[in-house]
């Protein structure tokens, strides 16, 4: 027996019966959250969080500002909520792609094989999404300030505006997380999220008033979720707490939370059966 072999045998003998120290759920959550943040930084998602509101401002504010000014609309004030909402949608899209890539690479399967509560990976994704959401909202606000948006509702209006934006962002991230778990592949996830999000955004009251659309599509434009949430953000920006403006958006958030719960439950069951 060589010296190296004898040393290895001695180590094995001393490790027999020694229990591996268990990492607490809090430690697991912190470790996975740190992993998610590193992925966000390396993948360039922070850069896209800056570019996304900037592109919206350039593509819509620059060509449409004079036209809206003629109509008596302060377009910077009008456009701010949809820029904020598009930044939230970007965070949701990246959240869906992140969970899908983990599933596609088998990382989610490895997590399930570890002594880890099944809620820990999802909670870590939520915390990562929350940090990216805050950064996206900060960048969107900076762009809106540059083009001329100014808070109208004082301190309370700002608090309510950003509080509701954060709630919407968390709900959207949960829905996107569930879609990513159910879709299973990056290609399917991009198709399920990308096209509906683009249609809802373009056919909304975010960029132009509903009455500027053809009459046959105006009911859809007024009542779909992007329009209702945009209207609520505009009302909160002005510190207008009318249920008429805010109520429909709250109900949409409740409905989307229910959809997210169902999707996450289906995705979790699908992953468990695939083991």
Tally helices (H) and strands (E) across the chain: 12, 0
Question: Pick the residue with more confidence: 79 or 106?
Answer: 79
Per-residue pLDDT for 82 more than 70?
yes
The DSSP call for residue 216 is G
Query: Does pLDDT of 222 surpass 70?
Result: yes
| pLDDT tens digit sequence for 40-63 | 787 777 787 778 888 888 888 888
Cα distances (angstroms) measured from residue 247 to each of 136, 171, 244: 25, 16, 6
Q: What are 122-136's pLDDT values in tens digits?
A: 777 888 888 888 888
Share of the chain above pLDDT 90, in %: 21
Min mean pLDDT across 32-36, 88-92, 112-116 is at 112-116
Question: What whole-number distance in Å separates Cα of residue 209 and Cα of residue 101?
Answer: 38
CA angle 80–198–43, rounded 5-degree value = 85
Mean pLDDT of 15-42: 70
DSSP single-letter state for residue 24 = P
Mean pLDDT of 225-233: 94
More confident residue, 273 or 26: 26
pLDDT (average), residues 69-98: 83
What is the distance in angstroms between the CA of the first residue and the CA of the last residue of the chain?
A: 42
Task: Calculate the alpha carbon distances from 154 to 58, 140, 160, 230, 242 in Å.
Answer: 27, 19, 10, 19, 17
The answer on pLDDT for 245 being more than 60 is yes
**268 pLDDT exceeds 80?**
no
CA distances, 158 to each of 219, 245, 253 (Å): 30, 16, 20
């Amino acid at each position: 027996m060589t010296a190296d072999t004898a040393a290895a045998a001695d180590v094995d003998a001393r490790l027999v019966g020694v229990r591996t120290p268990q990492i607490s759920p809090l430690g697991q959550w912190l470790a996975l959250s740190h992993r998610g943040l590193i992925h966000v930084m390396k993948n360039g998602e922070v850069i896209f969080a800056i570019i996304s509101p900037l592109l919206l401002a350039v593509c819509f504010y620059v060509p449409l500002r004079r036209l809206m000014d003629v109509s008596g609309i302060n377009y910077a004030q009008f456009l701010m909520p949809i820029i904020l909402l598009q930044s939230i949608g970007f965070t949701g899209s990246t959240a869906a792609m992140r969970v899908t890539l983990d599933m596609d690479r088998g990382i989610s399967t490895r997590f399930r094989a570890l002594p880890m509560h099944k809620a820990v990976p999802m909670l870590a994704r939520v915390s990562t999404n929350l940090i990216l959401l805050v950064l996206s909202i900060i960048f969107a606000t900076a762009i809106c300030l540059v083009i001329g948006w100014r808070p109208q509702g004082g301190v309370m209006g700002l608090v309510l505006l950003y509080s509701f934006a954060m709630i919407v962002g968390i709900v959207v991230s949960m829905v996107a997380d569930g879609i990513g778990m159910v879709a299973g592949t990056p290609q399917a996830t991009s198709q399920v999220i990308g096209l509906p999000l683009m249609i809802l955004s373009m056919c909304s009251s975010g960029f132009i008033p509903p009455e500027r659309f053809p009459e046959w599509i105006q009911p859809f434009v007024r009542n779909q979720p992007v329009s209702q949430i945009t209207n609520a953000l505009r009302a909160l920006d002005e510190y207008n707490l009318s249920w008429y403006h805010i109520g429909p958006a709250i109900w949409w958030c409740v409905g989307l939370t229910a959809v997210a719960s169902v999707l996450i439950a289906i995705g979790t069951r699908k992953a468990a059966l695939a083991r």
